Amino acid sequence: MLPFKVIYHPQYDLDLGSHVFPSQKFRLLHDALLAEGIADAGDFLQPEPAPDEDILRVHTPAYVNKLLTDSLTLSERMKLEIPLTELTRRAFWLAAGGSTLAGHKALEDGFAANLSGGFHHAYPGHGEGFCMIHDVGVAIRSLQAAGKIRTAMTVDTDVHHGNGTAAIFGDDPTVFTLSIHQENNYPDPKPPSDEDIGLNDGTRDHEYLDALEEGLLHAFKKITPDLIFYVGGADPYCEDQLGGLALTLDGLRQRDRMVFEHARRRGIPVASTLAGGYARRVADTVRIHLNTIIAARDVILQNPSAGDK
């Protein structure tokens, strides 16, 4: 039914209960895609957990060992802001495997979506801000090691700056990092991305879309990557509890379309991930992520041959 694959695993759910991170959103999104007739069962692929070998392409052996042996210090646990359990560890390994698989499928089909991932606050040597493993970093490094891509771009529209992404790829000319975010928000500090667009509190649709367009044009002047990872956070939404921008559902839809159209026009495949989303109503967060899938479908169906590689 969809012109691309959607990557999902039931164990993406972090099972965090009443935590501000709505860990049930992965399942709700999967169920909504089916219930609303947007996808059918044949569109889904189930990932394997990323092999430790791939995790270690990004993360330090000391940090990975602490995760595997449950020996994070108290301050490391507090920085991570979610519990380290067998279940959460598996969910992050699966998210990294899922983003890697999405990268492979995007190279085949022009687009693919991981219904998890976008854990852009994870650094090589520590996790923070609900992010244990940097799935997009793992995916890019794995695809590069397999010789599938040489260059990549991350387009990160989560309301929070992609600090982990910037830290991982800061000195690497093969990966271009773009982050459009609320300047006056977590994280602090914000290590420099290749293109940082720090927006004022309360930025609305029109201003946001103008800034994003300018940033994308600027980025594509510098690089035409083999693959784009789209980190499509739902938290620039006006009703988000952890964000201070003021985008509407329609503005977020236009944001997604803009990224996909720019990529499609240039024949660059896109793998999308979720990232944050803390709307007062979880249904809104799910709707925003669902709209990302619909935007990708519509852009591909309206431009059928442009992205075939």
Rounded distance between C-alpha atoms, residue 88 and residue 105, angstroms: 25
CB of 1 to Zn ion, least distance (A): 30
Residue found by looking up tokens 């969910």 in the block: 91
**Ranges assigned E (strand) in 125-201:** 152-156, 175-182, 195-199
Closer CB to Zn ion, 54 or 128, in the complex: 128
Residues in the chain: 309
Among 9, 229, 275, residue whose Cα is nearest residue 102: 229
CB of 20 to Zn ion, least distance (A): 11
Residue found by looking up tokens 């946001």 in the block: 208
Residue found by looking up tokens 């020996």 in the block: 71
Inter-residue contact 93 to 133 (CB < 8 Å): yes
Closer CB to Zn ion, 158 or 196, in the complex: 158
Residue 158 as a binder of Zn ion (CB under 5 A): the answer is yes
The first and second tokens of residue 192, run together, are 């420099």
Which residue in 5, 57, 105, 160 binds Zn ion (CB under 5 A)?
160
Strands 195-199 and 5-7: unpaired
CB of 292 to Zn ion, least distance (A): 15
Residue found by looking up tokens 């219904």 in the block: 115
Q: Per-residue x/- marks for Zn ion, 231-270, CB under 5 A?
A: --x-x-----------------------------------
Tell me the residue type at 231: V
CA 158 to chain centre: 8
Which residue in 49, 162, 276, 307 binds Zn ion (CB under 5 A)?
276
Closer CB to Zn ion, 226 or 235, in the complex: 235
CA 115 to chain centre: 9
Closer CB to Zn ion, 58 or 245, in the complex: 245
CB of 166 to Zn ion, least distance (A): 14
Task: Give the nearest residue (CB) to Zn ion.
Answer: 276
- How big is the site for Zn ion, counted in residues (CB under 5 A)? 5
CB of 160 to Zn ion, least distance (A): 4
Closer CB to Zn ion, 144 or 163, in the complex: 163
What residues does 112 pair with on adjacent strands?
A: 5, 271
Q: Per-residue x/- marks for Zn ion, 191-220, CB under 5 A?
A: ------------------------------
CB of 275 to Zn ion, least distance (A): 6
Would you tell me which residues interact with Zn ion (CB under 5 A)? 158, 160, 233, 235, 276
